Amino acid sequence: MKKIGVFTSGGDAPGMNACIRAVVRSATYHGIDVYGIRSGYQGMIEGDIAKLEPKDVANIIQYGGTILKTARSKEFMTLEGRKKAYEQLVKFEIDGLVCIGGDGTYTGAGIFFDEYGIPSIGAPGTIDNDLYGTDFTIGFDTAVNTALDAIDRIRDTADSHNRLFFIEVMGRDSGFIALNAGIAGGAEGILLPEIMSDYDDLIKHFNNKEKRRKEFSIIIVAEGEKEGNAFEISKKFQDNFSGYDVRVSVLGHIQRGGKPSANDRILASTLGNAAVEQLMAGKSNACVGVVNAEVVVTPFHEAIYKSKSINQTLWNLSKILSN
């Protein structure tokens, strides 16, 4: 393998730049040229590709976002789009790809391999932490800490005004951010897409709390919660507990930005290097991850279709600590 391409696709995540840096420097160390593909699969189709030298990735490890930009490409979902992308890779003589992103990124790489045999290794870049085959994804730790900082600030005003806040965090299909930020932030309730009875449990909890009359509370809601978003849930809650002064705060995209944490920089660097090594070893159609502090390789179809469950121990802990 003489030339590889690297790109980021889907939603951005803090630590993607650290992963790009690791890919470039690891490949260069082994005598392999690296080409950066801007704007994900769309840039691949358009030939927005340029060689990256180690100096090009200097002083980027501390920045959020991605220097290669990111996008979702509808054109790549078509046969014609993938044919154009393949022709561009041939033009630049690229032998393999490192794709940094989530399940949509992996799906595209898997189809591309089936059709054109382009070797691809994925690195899990998503704040949701919902990819099978790794304990943590790039960006998750930073997103949790960003959410926690906001929760701590909101707690100050909740305490000052004796209010109950519903705080919505990201997690369209998963509650990993909500669960971790909720425990760390001392939430009295956490609502997750994976738990069907969580709203009923919350109502029971506050029926008991009525005896104690705690003056303020924090409830964390994952955006994919089955009962609805934080505004809808807060309205239903206030119908049951009219005595509370209820407010809602949606943290939104601030969770995707900011400087990556030390953990995310180390994880991203480890996975970027591992992705290059796997391509060198002839592996393809798979992603790298870290499980129990060891690098593992998981086929794309498993990473995409196998579900990753929330930590039941943490969920049980959250119920105990909310008393």
Q: Active-site positions?
A: 128
DSSP string covering 197-234: THHHHHHHHHHHHTTT--S-EEEEEETT-TT--HHHHH
Strands (E), 151-208: 164-169, 189-191
Rounded-to-integer distance, Cα 260 and Cα 16, Å: 9
50 is written with which tokens? 């340029």
Q: What is the dihedral of CA 138, 144, 147, 152, to 10 degrees?
A: -150
Torsion angle in degrees (nearest 10) through CA of 4, 9, 14, 19: -10
SS3 168: strand
Q: Which amino acid is at 182?
A: G
Q: Which of 177, 145, 168 is nearest to 248 (CA)?
A: 168
Q: How far apart are CA 84 and CA 77, in angstroms?
A: 12
Per the structure block, which two tokens stand in for 299?
């086929």
Alpha helix positions (H), 60-102: 79-91
Q: Residue 79: how many CB atoms within 10 A of its CB? A: 9
**Helix orientation angle between 230-240 and 198-209, rounded to the nearest 10 degrees:** 40
Judge contact between 14 and 260, C-beta under 8 A. Answer: yes
